[in-house]
Structure 1
């Protein structure tokens, strides 16, 4: 780390998407300015997950020495909860002592000054740790500018207008959100965590802490979300916001899966340009048997080439993430696999970044996680929406209605952290969505390609994100204690 004199300490939420984004953000900052290094403190989940294989793959891969991963010891929390936002916040809070001890050790290294914390939106309790060490704290918001603005807007409605935001779950009332051109139908886009009074109060109290940090980094770019960013820079009453994206992963982890990766890429090499629809639903994405059958029927009826990442749900009543099926025939049957052998492939884990950037991929059926949306847009691939949890219903609305880069399969499907979906999406709806997605002259396809070019330009020297990143780095250097 010769020449690096300032250390940023990153604390991501213990979720794969959050960790991947944090690693890439740390790489972006430290590659831009050689005076800065990064240490990422990784909170251990109380069960095995893809985070473990991802961190193992990073540790075994020669990389830049200026980003260091530190695995915190597992904390016995004593509480039993389902995987949820509340669970994540509780787990992070239980790790405050471990974080404090790790920072104390890092502070003793005389060759480098700690420049501050960069924390995840679910790690706001770490503002207290920053204050304890008299260090500035910055927020890295891993979702988009529109959702950041939306939750700040809801928090203002609650605090300044005494509005009960939980009422939105049962109403078709439309909300005029200043960051969007169109009003949003509340019961379709408000996250499930805001449907219950206790969790809504806790979540929006967490949002209040956003106003106490020294700056907010958002994984987006000015040309993608001009209206939401205008709101964030003004009426949202937030600290300075730095849109520095699209920050994308070079890989989706997957551990030692080179053989599977190579097989998939070889199959794609043999398909015509933009002919394949790719279905993948993130690290938490899985379906019951009935829903899997509806998807299979729809895929066969469309006649389009397909690549389907199909994962097995965790066992009911247990904490865990989806895993690969040991035998896909057991759920799909030999008949389906035989009939579609020349048409498509069904796989488990998928190297999503590489697949989306392959020229044969022409559409992406997605859960609408923000990382996945950016990866798709960076490659100029339009999407079909199938959100499941967290802010994904809101993202789906933005992608379809506001940005015009996606078509709708569904926008209000919900499957929060291990629970069954709230309804069955039937094969005709899936078939319709995929056929619309794969139209070669669709406006959503043209818009996706346009935004792909704008995203690359934003990251280039002189681009909007390049300039905002430079401003953030200067702020870090100027405010180092």
Structure 2
């Protein structure tokens, strides 16, 4: 008898592709189903995506089809936001996705799209045997609650969200103000706001939602989404927390200098600094961050990004990252710190026993990679839903400290940087001790969720039975 077939569709961008690849790997390994992934790539800047697809193909867990990118220049304004471009590309890819699915010899019985692919769910009506359509939220339950509640807020809030004075009350979540909302919500006149409004209406039209969190981490929000009350009446469909689903360590074919350097450092003594693939900083902020790391007196590994292009949106930072560091910085911190300007194996770094903290942009993938290793976080949110993530980590979960102001709003000075780093890594800091204890509790909780009979293991089996992937 043929294996049941699940179809996953990824939006463009490494941050969207990797979660879908990892979800496919998990479905294949846990449920023993055939998984096909349709990867819509960015096009001009897809080298990192191509590498991720190549690595996933080597694992042979899923069949991966890379769909050629389409030109959307005539569909969006030249200054359109990244989110607007992603949604426009997914909309334009609809015929290609339909043709790819119809050409499959083995028809899928379930389709899973990510947050920006909800418009593709209508394709399920055109394909024989495809009877179920689900949305995968690669982020947390707060984000899901906010997006599906947005149509209610749209009628309730007067004027621009950026101007609200009282925090918004969302069922199952702490009240959120302009500093916690997703960036795409702040201005109604922006096309990306309209797209999020549409997505909020379309998610409840699915057969259910998979979320990359787990029951014990976000019990209050998950309860609000599922059990009575206003939010669950809006949601209408089942919510399945199946996280944490994160990248796993890959076999190392040759020695990596970062890991060799970490081998020589004391346990839990190093802060890892990485602001994501798109996390470039201004010249002034890079200087202050460097001075702060030096002033802290703590060991560090700093992945200092070169200016990045993402879906055609270019950074305006200096081309040579080393030139943006204080004069003599590399010499003064030699032996104490390590600056890396190329790719770094983040999962391996966070898994290393010498890592004691993570200064992070708070992308949810990076957050989960940190939490599953028991590494506390210095929250440095830059864009998208990272503002909300930072609030969740500090005020509800208790595994992080954050900057006094959003780094996107003002320069974070060297003294504050030094204080944050010392607090999260130095053993004698009392606040830091509480955060480190909590981080370890979350690590244990994340492991239990995916043990046999754990909350996420039960949840994925319940979902699989519902859509006939297992009997």
Q: Secondary structure at the match of 1:153?
A: helix
Change (3 A) 1:413 1:242: same
Contact 1:312 1:322 in 2 (8 A): no
Aligned equivalent of 1:43, options 40, 44, 51: 40
Distance in structure 2 (CA, Å) of the matches to 1:51 and 1:165: 40
- 1:456 matched to which residue of 2? 447
Contact 1:166 1:194 in 2 (8 A): no
Aligned equivalent of 1:143, options 134, 139, 150: 139
Contact 1:252 1:352 in 2 (8 A): no
**TM-score, with structure 1 as normaliser:** 0.88
Change (3 A) 1:316 1:245: closer
Match status 1:203 vs 2:196: yes
- 1:69 matched to which residue of 2? 64
- 2:361 matched to which residue of 1? 367
Q: Secondary structure at the match of 1:362?
A: strand
* Correspondence list, 1:242-257, <5 A: 242-251=240-249
- Post-superposition Cα deviations, 1:280-325, rounded to whole Å, max 9, x if no partner, equal 11111111111110000000000000000101223799535899x9
Where in structure 2 are there 5+ consecutive unaligned residues? none
Give 1:46 shift: 2.9
Contact 2:4 2:469 in 1 (8 A): no
Match status 1:291 vs 2:281: no
- 1:382 matched to which residue of 2? 376
Give 1:433 shift: 1.4
- Post-superposition Cα deviations, 1:76-100, rounded to whole Å, max 9, x if no partner, equal 2233455511110001111011101
Give 1:12 shift: 1.2
Distance in structure 1 (CA, Å) of the matches to 2:37 and 2:403: 37
Distance in structure 2 (CA, Å) of the matches to 1:32 and 1:75: 34
Aligned length: 453
Aligned equivalent of 2:168, options 175, 184, 199: 175
- 1:417 matched to which residue of 2? none
Contact 2:376 2:399 in 1 (8 A): yes
Contact 1:154 1:165 in 2 (8 A): no
Change (3 A) 1:318 1:129: closer
Aligned equivalent of 2:13, options 15, 19, 24: 15
**TM-score, with structure 2 as normaliser:** 0.90
Contact 1:393 1:413 in 2 (8 A): no
Question: Which shows bigger deviation, 3-12 or 282-291?
Answer: 3-12
Q: Secondary structure at the match of 1:271?
A: coil
Change (3 A) 1:475 1:450: same
Distance in structure 2 (CA, Å) of the matches to 1:424 and 1:166: 28
Q: Secondary structure at the match of 1:130?
A: helix
Where in structure 1 are there 5+ consecutive unaligned residues? 415-421
Distance in structure 2 (CA, Å) of the matches to 1:55 and 1:322: 28
* Correspondence list, 1:440-451, <5 A: 440=427, 441=430, 442-451=433-442
* Correspondence list, 1:135-284, <5 A: 135=130, 136-158=132-154, 162-164=155-157, 167-180=160-173, 182-184=174-176, 186-198=177-189, 199=191, 200-234=193-227, 235-236=230-231, 237-238=234-235, 239-251=237-249, 262-284=256-278
Distance in structure 1 (CA, Å) of the matches to 2:470 and 2:204: 18
- 2:325 matched to which residue of 1? 332
Change (3 A) 1:445 1:456: same
CA RMSD of superposed structures (Å): 2.5
